[in-house]
Amino acid sequence: MPRTARDVVFVDGVRTPFGKSGKGLYAQTRADDMVVRVIRELLRRNPGLPPERVDEVAIAATTQIGDQGLTIGRSAAILAGLPQSVPGYAVDRMCAGALTAVTTSGAGISFGAYDVVIAGGVEHMGRHPMGEGVDPNPRFLSEKLVDPSALVMGNTAENLHDRYPTITKERADAYAVRSQEKVAKAYADGKIQQDLVEMVVRSLEKGWGLATEDEPPRPGTTMESLAGLKTPFRAHGNVTPGNAAGLNDGATGALLAAEDVAAELGLDARMRLVDFSFAGVDPAVMGVGPVPATEKLFARQGISIDDIGIIEINEAFAVQVLAFLEHFGLSDDDARVNPWGGAIAVGHPLASSGVRLMMQLARQFAERPDVRYGLTTMCVGLGMGGTILWENTNYEGGK
């Protein structure tokens, strides 16, 4: 029987406040409990959605062991109280895990296999450090399939500085300062809090508490405070803890639906999924991944960077964002890029971050009916990039 592709919309997105790994907010909190909190909040905020109408739960995690294992999409769905008839699965595309959960399940909606899905991601880097339990095949190095530096993300960022010699440490630090300033302003203006869900936390020293805001931001960061930081990945290098995202814990979730189903159930349609693209690059410079992924998407859609009104790009490293901007001829402080700041300030719990980009874009779309198109894009470990093109459902004409 013939099938007709359906429009897919982003209905809602929520996340836990992001914490610092180690002795931070979530040191004594399970990763799956964070996902459960997000799923329950999505259902609470959207009472028109009967839980049995959820057709799939796709949750990403980079390290799928322990409390991030056991097919976390399914286990979290059961723990959250969804009917046992609702299936779920786990996704792994490293940093682009949640982004891939959205594109994969969203494609299922377009195809007609689903009507409504929950897609998101979680990373508890305190409990599960990057690379825990990984056993890279020795052929990667013995057969020189990848440069040894490709297996350490900080080293790939230093390699990117080598490839783009015009991107100095000073430019990276300046970008990081602006990210901190923008996040501080967004918090002061009440922008970020709208999609945070309070999370009960427990500390052996302090007892029970409540996480209500992100832990990583460092308001008041200056060029002077960043100048003296160590460069842990290379002596006299360019990458520091100040111009890169930290090690973080947190969970995100998005509610997606076919546009006609959203209308039927009285759900918001905040933005429309237009297209998405993934691309591979040399793993030793994985940070450049968003460039070919975006170019691939632009070529297919017949558009250019000039057609994009807002760009939400993950700030794994400042150099990675600056390489993207330099490629597309944008200034380091282009107002379209991360208007509310990014991961350098707010945190980057790996597989969860893609949906954070989406919820911020959706909020900005609501405030900008003059903007028609926006991007969410990010680099991915082992040399990849992923980009999604979104259309503003509030568009009234303009850019």
Give per-residue pLDDT as tens, 323-349: 999 999 999 999 999 999 999 999 999
61-65, 128-132, 247-251, 260-264: segment of lowest average pLDDT: 128-132
Domain range for 306 is: 146-192+275-388
336 within a domain of the structure (yes/no): yes
Q: The whole model's pTM is what?
A: 0.97
Question: Which amino acid makes up residue 50?
Answer: P
227 within a domain of the structure (yes/no): no
At 397, is the pLDDT very low, low, confident or very high (cuts 50, 70, 90)?
confident
346 within a domain of the structure (yes/no): yes
pLDDT at 131: 86
Q: Tally the domains of the chain.
A: 1
pLDDT at 203: 82
182 within a domain of the structure (yes/no): yes
pLDDT (mean) for 17-25: 95
By annotation, the residues acting in catalysis are 95, 348, 379
252 within a domain of the structure (yes/no): no
211 within a domain of the structure (yes/no): no
The mean pLDDT value of the chain amounts to 96
99 within a domain of the structure (yes/no): no
Q: Taking 70 as the threshold, does the pLDDT of residue 399 lie above it?
A: no
pLDDT at 202: 87
pLDDT at 2: 64
At 315, is the pLDDT very low, low, confident or very high (cuts 50, 70, 90)?
very high
DSSP of 83-138? -TT--EEEE-BTBTHHHHHHHHHHHHHHHTS-SEEEEEEEEETTTS-TTTT----T
- Return the structure tokens found at 8: 């897919």
State the number of CA atoms in the 13 A half-sphere of 382 facing the CB: 12
347 Cβ partners below 8 Å, 6+ apart? 18, 19, 20, 214, 215, 216, 245, 246, 248, 250
Tell me the angle at which helices 153-163 and 318-327 cross, rounded to the nearest 10 degrees.
40
Question: Which amino acid makes up residue 160?
Answer: L
Phi, psi of 157 (to 5 degrees): -70, -40
Cα gap 369→358, rounded to integer Å: 17
pLDDT at 4: 74
Question: Which amino acid makes up residue 137?
Answer: N
Which CATH number is 289's domain given? 3.40.47.10
